[in-house]
Amino acid sequence: MTAPVIVYSADLVVPITAPPIPHGAIAVRAGRILHVGDRSWVCAELASRGIAYDEVHWPGVITPGLVNAHTHLQYTGMAAVGAGTYSGFDAWDDAFTDAYHSGSDWRADAATGAALALAAGTTAIADVVTDPEAASALHDARVHGITYWEVMSWTNQEWAARGRAEVEARLDALPSPPGTGLSPHAPYSLDVQPLHEIPDIVRERGGRIHLHLGEAALEREFEHAHPDPWHSRRLGSFRELRGAGFGTGATEFVDQLGVLGPDCHIAHGVYMTARDRAILRSRGTTVALCPRSNAVIGLDEPPVAAYLVEGNPLAVGTDSLSSSPSLDLMADVAALHVLARSQGYTGRDLSELLLRAATLGGAHAMGLDTGPDRTGYLAVGALADLTFFDIAVTTVDDTIEHLVTAGTGTASATVISGEVRHASTAFTEQTGVTA
Ligand SMILES: [Zn+2]
């Protein structure tokens, strides 16, 4: 028996890898996209092949499912920390550490986070996990993405003695699907040896790497007088390197250790010089921008306009509720639009680029944009991961601009692998479809 075909049509369909389609449609069969195009063409195509279908029409916008390229779902219960305002990374970290040690049900909090993300139109997530209780959130919620086991605080000695074996066991125990990987927390919270070995542990298994980079001001590159490269000296950590008077920035530091590459993406990228941004581009490493988290923590603005002008691959993340007001990725997309314009980016393509970052960009960051389970865009054969927005459709350009600048809270339904996983009351009233 052939699987039934559902045609999802809308006033505007935005495939990302093809031009936007007014009165467009996506035919879905067995969790994958069978056709994308003009609604009348898709219906005629199915009819000509003798394929019966049901149609669900949405008087708004359909995009590829949103991809949240950086969050920690297990911190969903720490919204009290995220509701504060801080003077910088250390002040926020003090509040975070107090709350972290006050005890939480990580499994339940991570499940709540996955449900919130789904309701906000998210179909794939880069989820950083610090405690094993939270490790099955994506798997249990049947959300795509990568679960990253977070690695931090190992000294070179402890890493050699037991750290490496422990981390390998944690990585191998992560539930799959989704994909798995390791997240070396940050250049300053691990010694050199773990930072050097973690990429190989992941790469031997074909997994993914993700780290916080350029989030703390101390990672910034500064001028120094050392004539020799830092790696010609036996330095045990980034902090030791700084203590020895080297001004090497964190990006060059992890690059020398072999951490970067197309199988690695970074979160934040706030404290990045032009040279740092060039290193990221040359290694094929995507930056997941988290502007609302940066603002809560009291960091400087990420150089959004520079990334856009220079052509860095970009994605968008909410970070967790411990540093952000919500898991609604469109709120970060709107914040990026404001930052890019205030930093002088004048291109008419801004909304289009940001919508791409929030979908295909995130999929690319996690290696999910190619291969049999590709997602992040609407094309034949890709997973049928869709987000339905309650946005009035006018001209194509104005509608996309409206979605990007005012799309917060407008995700009305979420389809993952062809299955309706979230439907708002308005969506159900309009279409008769429930989750
Ligand atoms: Zn983070």
Rounded mean pLDDT for each run of 10 residues along the chain, 435 residues in total: 86 98 98 98 97 97 99 98 94 95 94 98 98 98 98 96 98 98 95 97 98 92 81 88 89 96 98 97 98 97 98 98 98 98 98 98 98 97 98 98 98 98 97 95
Residue range of the domain that includes 423: 5-64+376-431
**What is the reported pLDDT for 64?**
98
Where residue 19 sits, what CATH number does that domain have?
2.30.40.10
Sequence letter at residue 163? G
**Ligand 1 center to 275 CA (angstroms):** 23
Nearest alpha carbon to residue 175 among 138, 205, 145: 138
**What is the reported pLDDT for 271?**
96
Kindly state the DSSP code that residue 413 receives in the 8-state scheme.
E
Beta strand pairing status for 21-29 and 286-289? unpaired
**Ligand 1 center to 244 CA (angstroms):** 28
**Ligand 1 center to 54 CA (angstroms):** 42
**Ligand 1 center to 236 CA (angstroms):** 24
**Ligand 1 center to 187 CA (angstroms):** 13
**Ligand 1 center to 298 CA (angstroms):** 14
- CB-based burial label for 45 (10 Å; 0-12, 13-18, 19+): middle
Residue 371 lies in a domain: no
Residue 370 lies in a domain: no
**Ligand 1 center to 127 CA (angstroms):** 9
Q: Which residues contact 133 (CB under 8 A, 6 or more apart)?
A: 74, 105, 106, 107, 110
**Ligand 1 center to 211 CA (angstroms):** 8
Beta strand pairing status for 386-389 and 314-316? unpaired
Q: Is 166 found in the same domain as 138?
A: yes
**Ligand 1 center to 220 CA (angstroms):** 18
- Stated as kind and residue range, the H or E segment containing 164 is helix 164-173
Q: Is 99 found in the same domain as 27?
A: no
Q: Is 183 found in the same domain as 60?
A: no
Using CA atoms, how far apart are residues 263 and 259, in angstroms rounded to an integer?
Answer: 9
Dihedral (Cα; 101, 91, 280, 167), 10-degree rounding: -20
Q: How far is CA 363 from CA 103, 268, 295, in A?
A: 33, 17, 25
- State the Rg of the chain over Cα: 22
Give helix 396-406 / helix 329-342 axis angle, nearest 10°: 100
Q: Is 250 found in the same domain as 208?
A: yes
Q: Is 77 found in the same domain as 18?
A: no
Q: Is 298 found in the same domain as 270?
A: yes
Q: How far is CA 353 from CA 52, 86, 400, in A?
A: 36, 30, 11
Last residue of a domain, one of 365, 388, 403: 365
Using CA atoms, how far apart are residues 342 and 109, in angstroms rounded to an integer?
Answer: 36
Using CA atoms, how far apart are residues 23 and 401, in angstroms rounded to an integer?
Answer: 18
Last residue of a domain, one of 338, 365, 392: 365
Beta strand pairing status for 419-423 and 411-416? antiparallel
Residue 314 lies in a domain: yes
Query: How many structural domains compose the chain?
Result: 2
Q: Is 418 found in the same domain as 317?
A: no
Q: Is 418 found in the same domain as 295?
A: no
Three-class DSSP category at 138: helix
**Ligand 1 center to 72 CA (angstroms):** 6
Q: Which residues contact 382 (CB under 8 A, 6 or more apart)?
A: 32, 33, 374, 375, 376
Quickly count: other Cβ atoms within 10 Å of residue 215's Cβ: 26
CB hemisphere CA count around 103 (13 angstroms): 0
Using CA atoms, how far apart are residues 164 and 285, in angstroms rounded to an integer?
Answer: 25
Residue 284 lies in a domain: yes
**Ligand 1 center to 322 CA (angstroms):** 9
Q: How far is CA 258 from CA 184, 190, 252, 263, in A?
A: 13, 15, 10, 11
pTM given for the model = 0.97
Using CA atoms, how far apart are residues 389 and 409, in angstroms rounded to an integer?
Answer: 9
Last residue of a domain, one of 320, 345, 365: 365
∠67-70-74 over CA atoms, to 5°?
110
Residue 244 lies in a domain: yes
**Ligand 1 center to 104 CA (angstroms):** 18
Beta strand pairing status for 179-184 and 208-213? parallel
Using CA atoms, how far apart are residues 113 and 101, in angstroms rounded to an integer?
Answer: 19
Sequence letter at residue 339? L
Residue recorded with tokens 């219960």 = 77
Using CA atoms, how far apart are residues 72 and 103, in angstroms rounded to an integer?
Answer: 16
Phi, psi dihedrals of residue 343, rounded to the nearest 5°? -90, 5
Nearest alpha carbon to residue 237 among 189, 182, 165, 272: 189
Q: 135, 171 in Cβ contact below 8 A?
A: no
**What is the reported pLDDT for 2?**
60
**Ligand 1 center to 332 CA (angstroms):** 14
**Ligand 1 center to 159 CA (angstroms):** 23
**Ligand 1 center to 221 CA (angstroms):** 21
**Ligand 1 center to 326 CA (angstroms):** 14
